[in-house]
Amino acid sequence: MRLISLLACLVALSACATHPGKVDQVRFAKDAEPILTTTEAGTVRGVEGAGTRAFLGVPFAAPPVGDLRWRAPQPVGAWQGVRDATRIGSDCTQAIGRRSILGGGGGIVVGSEDCLYLNIYAPGGDAAEARPVMVYIPGGAFTVGAGANYDPSKLAREQDRVVVTMNYRLGALGWLAHPGFEATGEGFGGNFGLMDQQAALKWVHRNIAAFGGDPGDVTLFAESAGAWTACYLMASPQSEGLYQRVIMQSGGCLEPSSLVRAQDAAQSGPMFAERLGCTGEDQIACLKALPAWRLSRAASLRAGINGPGSWGPVHTDATVPESPAVAIREGRFTRVPVLVGTNLDEGRLFANEVQDMDRYQKETIWMYGDQGERVLARYPVGADGPAYAIAANFTDQRFACPSQALRRLLAQHVPVWGYEFADREAPFVLPDWIVGLDLGAYHASELAYLFGTRWVFADPKRFTPEQKALSERMQRLWATFGRSAFAAEWPRVEGAGPVRVFKPQGDVMDDGFFERHHCDFWDGTPFGAVH
């Protein structure tokens, strides 16, 4: 999907250039004090200050380097003495650039293969009983991003929760599939990043009590690519018992390009290797001998969530044995309460270059092929211009309608709630005149509200009083999801609707989500949600 241009660069650069998760306000607070706790691998030293405890850069698996590249994550080796946990660990290797964010290759490489770290935040002081836990999986198109890009210290402190953010392998290092991987007994590959996420959840289950958390009370929440993987995790038998509820923000696993078989992804593996000069009989040995930066800069050559030539998880392997769409429809998934939602204007973040009719028509035909003319007719260009038209169809096809379909499937088996974030005045770091259009409730705009702290796109210091109240409301609902306090504020709905529409002026319940987003139209095309 080639809509992304200026903002792809912004996302990628920002994802690696800033780390709000350093929580310097904790490390350098006037009352900051070191604090020790012991994990299964050894003692770590974090910091407590400004009402928050932080343990940063804590390893949850051995570094996946050398022979462990493209292998399932292995246990952390024990250490002697006290390990410093007051600074973030390295981001996972990732290529930064216009094309690379979607798997197109090139870019500037940052990060390290030694990157399987998580960050743990909790309120200051000791609690009378173990606190509920929230584990966050970050997004980034499966190619960029890190747990340390998010600062959940406010969420942890004000909602009395232990909050964990994680890294996982990205790009080719996280998602490459190849027939040669079968020799290790781990199948075709393609899910190393997903395995990392499971390893992090298992680590939390075994160790979070040492940080004041309850391992039997875990909410998994995730955004964008993280939400797509959360959906895959639900379809993985190995995830059973690792969490008690799931929140998926702007991502799911029913959009057609999200559902890639490991066998199909593996067909491109030999070609990927050949492009890197690995033409001998043992391509895997050759690939393992290459530096990580070369692998990270190489084009994907396979299908994925962003269409041809991108990365993402796969199914029909040992980790996810069947298509998530089938598993969910048939009830073979981790049965827990689920909250699934999207943003009103997801697609506007990706449409800034579509400023004339010719570009709009070409992009639409490129994306939808022989259905392109139907899409052009259903989404005509209005007075605001073609960027808004293509953003609307992208929002509906890629985000809104698959999420609605997911809610409907899940609701046959588990309690389900839906939302739409609809604050069209959500702050953004760049002025609209640079971006080229009014971003509205853009993709990822809800994150500043959910965490209540600065991150890549927005600074909550710019919130109006009404937006601040919305932020506090969302934090409270996410933190209490599945509990009596949540039920009192958001009663259970039947089936897939209505959805709760979040607005600064006050939330409303909407029965018209399916119709508003033209989901009947998309269901009548090959690009409709798989359900």
pLDDT in tens, 60-89: 999 999 999 999 999 999 999 999 999 999
pLDDT, position 120: 97
Residues 81 and 201 in one domain: yes
Which of 157-161, 299-303, 461-465, 469-473 has the least mean pLDDT? 299-303
Q: Are 90 and 115 contacting, i.e. CB atoms less than 8 angstroms apart?
A: yes
What domain range includes position 495? 337-461+491-531
Positive/negative CA dihedral, 514, 520, 525, 529: positive
Structural domains counted in the chain: 2
- The pLDDT score that the predictor gives to residue 13 is 43
Domain membership flag for residue 96: yes
**Same domain assignment for residues 52 and 145:** yes
Asked if residue 330 is part of any domain, the answer here is: no
pTM of the model: 0.95
- Secondary structure letter of residue 492 according to DSSP: P
Q: How far apart are CA 201 and CA 239, in angstroms?
A: 8
Catalytic positions, written as ranges: 224, 346, 443
| pLDDT above 90: residue 185 | no
Query: Taking a C-beta distance cutoff of 8 angstroms, is the pair 175, 304 a contact?
Result: yes
Q: Which residues contact 524 (CB under 8 A, 6 or more apart)?
A: none
Tell me: do 293 and 399 sit in the same domain. Answer: no
Q: Is 483 within the bounds of a domain? A: no
Mean pLDDT of the chain: 92
Kindly tell me if the per-residue pLDDT of 253 is higher than 80.
yes
Whether 283 and 348 map to the same domain: the answer is: no
CATH code, domain carrying 234: 3.40.50.1820
Contacts with 128 (C-beta within 8 Å, 6 or more apart), sequence order: none
Q: Are residues 46 and 151 in the same domain?
A: yes
Within a domain: 332: no
Helix (H) or strand (E) holding 410: helix 401-410
Q: Is residue 471 part of a domain?
A: no
- Summarised one tens digit per residue, pLDDT across range 109-144 is 999 999 999 999 999 998 889 999 999 999 999 999
| 388: nearest Cα among 424, 418, 419, 420 | 424
**One domain, residues 192 and 229:** yes
6 pLDDT higher than 50? no
Q: How many helices (H) and strands (E) does the chain have?
A: 21, 17
pLDDT at 12 over 80: no
Within a domain: residue 480?
no
